[in-house]
Structure 1
Amino acid sequence: MNLTLITSLAAATLAAAGAWAFEDARHRAALAELRLDQSTAALQAQATARAAEQSITRKYTEALNAAQTRQATLRADADSARAESERLREQTADAGRRLAAAPPAAVLEYATATGELLAECSRSYQGLAAAADGHASDVRTLIDAWPRNQ
């Protein structure tokens, strides 16, 4: 009877140890799976953040490149306007010298043409000023509407 009891206890101990080992292995596997899921989620979050950062950087770079291109165009236009202004200044100085010796009818005709030209320039400048005000208003609207972090 003593041997049967010992054998039963040994069998029960082995069964309990086996069950314990099985449960331990099952819990370790579940823990490893949770860690894998957590690592995968972290990698996906990093990839998403990196993609968003690259998108922002790309848009920023494109905006800077476009601004530099616009700036170069504006400089070229300003240089062209300065050259044209200088040419007109020289032409006006030459006309003044020629008018000093011109007959009165030619001076009157020149004055009339000059007045009409100045009136046309004034109308063009008014249109330009209105367009510039509209652009400035658009820029202000964009700045005011741009999202900000609070």
Structure 2
Amino acid sequence: MKPQTIATAVGAALIFGAGWAANGWRLGQDIAQIQLTHTQELAARDAGTFAVAQAIDTNYQGALNASIQEQARLAGAAAVATRNAGRLREQLSEADKRIATASAAAVRDYAATANKLLRQCSDRYAELAARADGHALDARVCRAAWPVN
């Protein structure tokens, strides 16, 4: 082979190798840029997901705290109702003793008053039942509307 042909071949090989290396570097830069963009997109998505999760957690904690306060309030109201019921039982026991020795007119007045009171209790019980049904319906609607994964 002629030295000129060998030099040409070596020169062509060097040019080809340099082009190959330059193209590899360029593609390496492109890949690095794509990886950086993908990483940034993942970070932005994860930040958005974290913000949503944190908002849900904050809302849940607020609802839980409100529920705990409401339970305490209801427990206090139940204790008051229990004390009042005890006093009412004592009063009824005393009334039984007084009725045994009362006149007929006093017993009739007592019966009329008791009937009026029972009528009022019945009306209030019906109102309470209607409100309880409304609350139960609201709870069913909330459970049915709650998203399920």
Give the TM-score of the pair, scaled to structure 1. Answer: 0.83
Q: Which residue of 2 aligns with 1:56?
A: 56
Deviation larger for 43-52 or 118-127: 43-52
* Alpha-carbon offset, residue 123 of structure 1: 0.9
The 2-side partners of 1:16 and 1:144 are apart by 69
What residue ranges of structure 1 are gaps of 5+ in the alignment? Answer: none
* Alpha-carbon offset, residue 3 of structure 1: 7.0
Code of the residue aligned with 1:89 in structure 2: it is: R
The 1-side partners of 2:29 and 2:125 are apart by 79
> How big is each residue's C-alpha offset from its partner over 1:8-58, in whole Å with a ceiling of 9 and x where there is no partner?
556545443433332222111111111111211222222222222222222
Matched residues, percent identical? 37
Q: Which residue of 2 aligns with 1:44?
A: 44
Q: Which residue of 2 aligns with 1:84?
A: 84
* Alpha-carbon offset, residue 88 of structure 1: 1.1
Q: Which residue of 2 aligns with 1:95?
A: 95
The 1-side partners of 2:3 and 2:137 are apart by 101
The 2-side partners of 1:32 and 1:144 are apart by 48
What residue ranges of structure 2 are gaps of 5+ in the alignment? Answer: none
Query: What is the CA RMSD across the aligned residues, in angstroms?
Result: 2.2
Equivalences, count? 148
1:1-150 matches, within 5 Å, as 12-149=12-149
